[in-house]
DNA sequence: AAATTGTTTTTTATCGATAAGTGAAAACAG
DNA sequence: CTGTTTTCACTTATCGATAAAAAACAATTT
């Protein structure tokens, strides 16, 4: 049976909307809510029906109003709003990075299904999608093997990353003056400066900024295969940042300075300088990740 | 229920082995057969049991011999030896390239399942794996959309291909003299010359040779992400060759000449020349594919 | 003792069923 | 007649069951 996480999440979001609107306020139309919450109107109606049943809203049809303040425990628990497929991803990454999953470990679908509390179909589907990250390999009729998040994996990942990013940086530097990207580049430059000013308090925000910065560069000349590859980078870095906390503040400060020089290079449109700044930053990022392997 | 295609294929292969050995010959051990056929010993035993039941082999345990010539109709039909998952791939590519699948077409899991004669799980698994080829996109809870095998898709594909292959060709040219690859390069060079000599009769063999040649170049400096990408190339080209028959003989002859020059360049170890030959060939391959779009 | 065969236990591939969710036509209100 | 709600037919997400295939273990044979 399908889980009703979509409904529960929409329900919780609508609860927040009610609180914001306050008692007596009229509700938006079902269509408006549907567009707002990003779910079908069918689900919106289910939410509205439940809200009415609990007395948080009153009225019928187009005369619905907020009837009472929403009590504290009205929301569904956060865990019930996460689709099975997403739960599997989180669990699996945890299992892989934190657990004692050695290279060569066999992955047992049934066991994972039991441990994660989902059906085997969910596991199977996840593994099939996850395969493209290059960390697991399938042997037909005989299960999956975990290849290990190894130094070699990181090296191969970075080789492609450098190839792609140099290409995108070059393309970006050659865009015309009136391209929308220059404004976005200035914006993200400012965000770097802001972060640098509060580096002691906010250094953990760098992970997200880093991701947005590199995706911006890749958006200069879109290519679906490069975008796809960036999903891999994002995932790996996301979990790597959670896992490797050593010297985090210092590392991030260095990276921000490299980004700023990289941005200056792009703004200058000097191809030589762009390539130099790009290579320098990527080499440094690679060294950081490889150092984590040597330490472990 | 799992289909028994593994068994049926192993059965057919063993039948051929019996014919080759001739009546009275002793059978290899179960372990040897298992390694030979690439299936588990469990399956080998099932095959042997069925062969004995039909009277093609006689004797027990380690004293089994070929008992009689295998009649003509003894094999399982070819279609029964193809796993569901593979059937889906063939059907789907057919549907996509030959059928009237326009960009933006919705893909209906249930309908495909009916048309292809498999369960929905099989379709779902295929679509999830096929997603990485960049031709379909998923909208959660609302099915898949076919993006179209468009000119743009081909351009993006080729951009990456050229990046990767130039990198691999450069790496290959810099390998030491005693690397095993030089011998393999000479071998494949000869295969090109052989094909060229019989081009009128065998021009259709080029597709396979082309694939092996480019994979050989990529094997010079292995990278799992490049290997993965080459799976996409292989699949697309495989079906493209089946679909675009216009001027096939002439196109293939040109490509063989380009390969030969490319090989000479590699053997010469002259980086400039390698890059020139590689670029020339890839540009020509790209033009060929794009021409197919303009014609359609 | 090493290789081979016999037996049992695990694990994967595949199907069908069903509640949750979507989308669009039909009905309705202002 | 335009925007909204009602209704309903169709689709996806997810589970559990089951036969096929693999793997592990035990018993023989040379």
How many cross-chain Cβ pairs, A to B, lie less than 8 Å apart?
52
A228 CB neighbours in chain B (<8 A) are 132, 134
B232 CB neighbours in chain A (<8 A) are 225
Note the strand D nucleotides within 7 A of protein beta carbons.
Answer: 3-24, 29-30
Mean pLDDT of B224-243: 88
Q: Which of B125, B157, B167 sits opposite A163 (nearest CB)?
A: B167
Backbone angles phi, psi at B189, to 5 degrees: -60, -45
Q: Which of B128, B224, B226 sits opposite A125 (nearest CB)?
A: B128
Cα distance from B124 to chain A (closest Cα, Å)? 8
> How high does pLDDT run on average in chain A?
92
Interatomic distance B15 CA / D29 C1' (Å): 27
What local confidence, expressed as pLDDT, does residue B281 receive? 97
Tokens encoding A246? 């050593």
Residue nearest to nucleotide D12 (CA to C1'): B141
Which residue in this structure is represented by tokens 């080459």? B230
Distances B140 to A131, B144, B253 between C-alpha atoms, Å: 20, 8, 46
What local confidence, expressed as pLDDT, does residue A100 receive? 64
* Higher pLDDT pick, A246 / B31: B31
pLDDT digits over A196-238, tens only?
Answer: 999 999 998 999 999 999 999 999 999 999 999 999 999 888 8
* Higher pLDDT pick, A22 / B265: B265
pLDDT digits over A41-75, tens only?
Answer: 999 999 999 999 999 999 888 889 999 889 989 99
What local confidence, expressed as pLDDT, does residue A202 receive? 93
* Higher pLDDT pick, A260 / A151: A260
What local confidence, expressed as pLDDT, does residue B84 receive? 87
Give, as one character, the DSSP assignment of residue B69.
Answer: P
A138's enclosing H/E stretch is: strand A136-138
Interface of chain B against chain A, CB under 8 Å? 6, 83, 121, 124-125, 128-129, 131-132, 134, 140-141, 153, 156-157, 159-160, 163-164, 167, 223-226, 228-229, 232
Q: H helices within chain B, ranges in order?
A: 5-21, 30-37, 41-53, 84-97, 109-116, 120-130, 151-173, 181-197, 199-202, 206-218, 224-243, 248-268, 271-295
Mean pLDDT of B247-271: 95
Q: Which residues pair with A26 in a beta bridge?
A: A65
CATH of A5-80 among 3.40.50.920, 1.10.760.10, 1.10.10.10, 3.90.79.10: 1.10.10.10
Band the pLDDT of B243: cuts 50, 70, 90. Answer: confident
* Contacts for A199-205: CB closer than 8 Å, 24+ residues apart: A199/A249, A199/A252, A199/A253, A199/A256, A200/A249, A203/A248, A203/A249, A203/A252, A203/A253, A204/A248
Q: Which of A121, A134, A163 sits opposite B163 (nearest CB)?
A: A163
Backbone angles phi, psi at B214, to 5 degrees: -70, -35
pLDDT for A99 beyond 70? no
What local confidence, expressed as pLDDT, does residue B223 receive? 97
Interatomic distance B119 CA / C16 C1' (Å): 8
Contacts of A228 (CB under 8 A, 6+ apart): A132, B132, B134
CATH of A84-146 among 1.10.468.10, 3.40.50.720, 1.10.10.10, 3.40.50.300: 1.10.10.10
Distances B169 to B162, B280, B288 between C-alpha atoms, Å: 10, 13, 21
pLDDT for B99 beyond 70? no
B5-80 and B84-146 share one fold: yes
* Total Cβ atoms within 10 A of residue A153: 19
Query: A151-295 maps to which CATH number?
Result: 1.20.120.530
Domain boundaries, chain A: 5-80, 84-146, 151-295
């Amino acid at each position: 049976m399908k889980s009703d996480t979509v409904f529960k999440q929409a329900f919780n979001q609508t609860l927040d909307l009610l609180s914001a609107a306050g008692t007596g306020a009229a509700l938006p139309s079902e269509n408006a809510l549907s567009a707002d919450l990003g779910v079908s109107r069918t689900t919106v109606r289910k939410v509205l029906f439940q809200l009415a049943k609990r007395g948080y809203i009153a009225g019928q049809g187009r005369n619905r109003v907020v009837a009472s303040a929403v009590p504290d425990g009205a929301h569904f628990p956060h865990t019930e709003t996460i689709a099975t497929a997403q739960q599997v991803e989180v669990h699996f990454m945890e299992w892989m990075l934190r657990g004692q999953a050695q290279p060569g470990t066999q992955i047992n679908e049934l066991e994972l299904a039991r441990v994660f509390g989902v059906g085997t179909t969910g596991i199977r589907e996840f593994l099939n999608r996850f395969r493209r990250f290059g960390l697991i390999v399938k042997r037909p009729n005989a299960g999956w093997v975990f290849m290990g998040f190894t130094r070699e994996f990181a090296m191969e990942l970075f080789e492609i990353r450098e190839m792609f990013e140099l290409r995108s940086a070059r393309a970006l530097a050659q865009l015309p003056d009136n391209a929308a990207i220059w404004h976005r580049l200035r914006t993200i430059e400012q965000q770097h400066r802001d972060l640098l000013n509060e580096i002691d308090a906010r250094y953990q925000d760098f992970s997200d900024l880093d991701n947005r910065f590199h995706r911006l560069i890749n958006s200069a000349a879109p290519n679906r295969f490069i975008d796809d590859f960036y999903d891999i980078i994002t995932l790996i870095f996301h979990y790597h940042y959670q896992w490797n906390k050593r010297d985090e503040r210092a590392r991030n400060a260095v990276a921000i300075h490299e980004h700023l020089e990289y941005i200056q290079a792009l703004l200058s449109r000097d191809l030589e300088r762009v390539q130099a700044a790009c290579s320098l930053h990527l080499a440094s990022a690679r060294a950081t990740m490889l150092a984590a392997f040597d330490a472990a």
